[in-house]
Structure 1
Amino acid sequence: MDSLQQVSQQLAELKSFYTREWPKYCKEYYCLDSFQELHKRDAKLKDVQVYALPNLELGLFVIVDRYQISVGSLEADSYERVLKESLLKLQFFGGEQFASMPKRYLKVALDVIQAKNIKVDLNSVTYSLVLSKDEALYFHVEPPIGFTLKSLKVDDAQVIDDHWEWSEPGSLSYIRRQIWCTTSVGLYKDEDNELVAWCIKAQDGLLAALQVKPSYKRKGFGAIIVKEFSRLEAEQGRDIITEVGSENEPSLNLFKKLGFKFNDQCHWLFTEAPNGD
């Protein structure tokens, strides 16, 4: 089998193969699209390696973003074997995360983790949801009186990290990068410019880190943030994708109410880090 090669200039060509059977592969498409945009902002993106096979038409890719691993492959004969062989050639130390992968890759990832003698620390199930850009363009968003909607500032990253359920060592710099490079939305209180609600775009293209400060909940601010983010992405020609934990009924109901449709079941796999590091 051909070996994985690092790529960066071929991301546009690689993602084009994922337009088939839309929206089946929208997760893979927007993951590649997001890293393509990141590379445009920073051609020497720190701690990011993008790998693919020489035959790009297979669609197979592996992206290593510090300790997060994103994978994709078009379903074809023996695609699981080829993906597994590719992943086995990468070094694993423990502490890696397979970031939000569609269920069709789960067996391969678990087999690779077992072969590397690493333990799974967490297998988190999420539901992948998608909203078409045509629907999102119909959103008319008006911030409530006394508040302003605008893009987040890099300095807001600390507030977001402080309130984020998945905050961990390194997440602050990650949030700063995403704010600097991609679409984000914040709702600010005019009186003192307090950031009260927000979301960012994750490295794999997801609407992520959606949060409303506790004292501002039950005012519809979450829906305002989602609608504004979706509208901004749609204006750039993108459908909107997000993921919600399978047990998070309030968020699932919010996204469904706004027109998001179920697309796939996904999994976050956290592997056990050596010495808990």
Structure 2
Amino acid sequence: MGTRLEVIGLKDIQQFQQLYKQNWPKYCQEYYCLDNFVSFLKKQPHMRNIQMYTLDTKQARDEGLFVIVDRYQLFVGCLTNTNGLVRSALELLDWSTGLKCSSIPSRHIDALDGLVESKRLELVFRDYTNLYFMKAEDALKLKVEPPDGFVLRPLSVADAPLVNDEWPNHHVGSLFFIERQIRLCVSVGLYQEDTQELVAWCIRLQGGYLGALQVKALHKRRGFGSVVTREIAYRLAAEGHDVMALVGPLNKPSSEMFSKLGFQVIDQCLWLRTEPTRGEFTWPEGE
């Protein structure tokens, strides 16, 4: 078993990504998470505050084990969870500032829970989401024309403050995150043609799934959420990507929408945030 974390880079995660093509779509979470970080690092080779690790063993590399800490968010992947690799890697991480463990595939949940228990970490939250999945060939059929009086186009960074303010998960430091995702990932906004008001939107988040799906309050119940979801799914599929979305099981409107569009639930993912262990820590704005 590895005794230390080993820093990895772009070439490593490109090699790991290929391992996750097998038994598709079993490992689609890991594949598309790495797909995004590969894209990020190609566009911005010296991105700040992203650390990527594996363990210092051949077995870890053979299993494609990766741990990515993106500012305060943690992503983890491994082909199996029967050999303790994930748990070993998590034990070696620095948890002092608290981490938001994001979209953790179901097969790694026991390793994460065991880590939390062994380190006696206090939790801010622990929530499950259902992983909705659609093949690219099906998503290509979702192309939609905007409603009369509206236009569909990618978001701009100028839209970020509104998107962040309306996002139920916004927090200190999240504006930087939203701006970055708009710059680096596929996004779609629905704009009123005459006023150019942004009324609905969706962004591909760094884990590879659709997120920050929102419709402004005055425009709800008009099917706009479905419109932007269909459009962003189509745009991802046009680039050759299958499409994923994470939805809380209690979010009935979104669950019904994705099911109606033809998405299938193929897994559950865990979201878990730990409290800092060395006093309060707030991620600085602009980083």
**TM-score where L is the length of structure 1:** 0.95
Alignment match, 1:74: 79
Distance 1:200 1:125 in 2: 20
Distance 2:86 2:230 in 1: 36
Query: Following TM superposition, by how much is the alpha carbon of 1:21 offset from its aligned partner in structure 2, in angstroms?
Result: 1.4
- 2:86 counterpart SS class: helix
Query: Following TM superposition, by how much is the alpha carbon of 1:190 offset from its aligned partner in structure 2, in angstroms?
Result: 1.1
Alignment match, 2:209: 206
Distance 1:6 1:232 in 2: 33
Give ranges in structure 2 of 5+ residues lacking alignment. 283-287
- Are 2:81 and 2:108, in contact at CA under 8 Å, matched by a contact in 1? no
Alignment match, 1:30: 32
Q: 1:46-85 alignment to 2 at 5 Å?
A: 46-53=48-55, 55=58, 56-75=61-80, 77-78=82-83, 81-85=84-88
Which of 173, 176, 191 is 2:176 aligned to?
173
- Are 1:179 and 1:200, in contact at CA under 8 Å, matched by a contact in 2? yes
- 1:234 counterpart SS class: helix
| 1:70-101 residue CA offsets vs partner (Å, 9 max, x unmatched) | 001111641xx121111111111142111111
Q: 1:127-276 alignment to 2 at 5 Å?
A: 127-273=130-276, 274-275=279-280
- Are 2:81 and 2:107, in contact at CA under 8 Å, matched by a contact in 1? no
Distance 1:221 1:209 in 2: 14
- 2:183 counterpart SS class: helix
Give ranges in structure 1 of 5+ residues lacking alignment. none
Alignment match, 1:14: 16
| 1:47-77 residue CA offsets vs partner (Å, 9 max, x unmatched) | 1111124532211110000111000111164
- Are 2:52 and 2:67, in contact at CA under 8 Å, matched by a contact in 1? yes
Alignment match, 2:285: none
1:39 aligns with 2:44: no
Distance 1:99 1:5 in 2: 21
Q: How many residues align?
A: 275
Moved more, 167-176 or 116-125: 116-125
Query: Following TM superposition, by how much is the alpha carbon of 1:276 offset from its aligned partner in structure 2, in angstroms?
Result: 6.9
Distance 1:111 1:180 in 2: 37
Distance 1:10 1:76 in 2: 20
- Where has structure 1 moved over 4 Å in runs of 4 or more? none
| 1:230-257 residue CA offsets vs partner (Å, 9 max, x unmatched) | 1110011100001001100110000001
**TM-score where L is the length of structure 2:** 0.92
Moved more, 3-12 or 116-125: 3-12
Query: Following TM superposition, by how much is the alpha carbon of 1:45 offset from its aligned partner in structure 2, in angstroms?
Result: 1.1
Identity among equivalent positions (%) equals: 39
- Are 1:92 and 1:116, in contact at CA under 8 Å, matched by a contact in 2? no
Distance 1:212 1:275 in 2: 33
